[in-house]
Amino acid sequence: MIIELEVNGARLIISGDNLAVNLTEGHEAHDGLSISAFKAHIEQFITDREMTPTQFGKKFAGDPLFVFQLRDGREPRSQTRQRIIEAMGADERETAA
């Protein structure tokens, strides 16, 4: 017997034969960015804009520790990731204009 569950974007498979559990990363933002891609996008944005992690966190997440916590393993909800990606896009458009 195999039981498959999806919990907070993670896929959990439980096998009744040997009770093995396989947890796979399935954290996807609405725009398809995984947590690791989200983090990489932020790191590149910070580098390109010559911002400090604190400046980024204050401006886009309302939390000066946001980037530091991401680096330490924080996994924001998909709605939070989407809101930040949208704000970054708006900022890019303003800068380009």
Domain chopping of the chain, boundaries: 2-96
Q: Global pTM?
A: 0.66
| Amino acid identity, position 21 | V
25-73: pLDDT as tens digits? 444 434 457 899 999 999 999 999 999 999 999 999 999 999 999 999 9
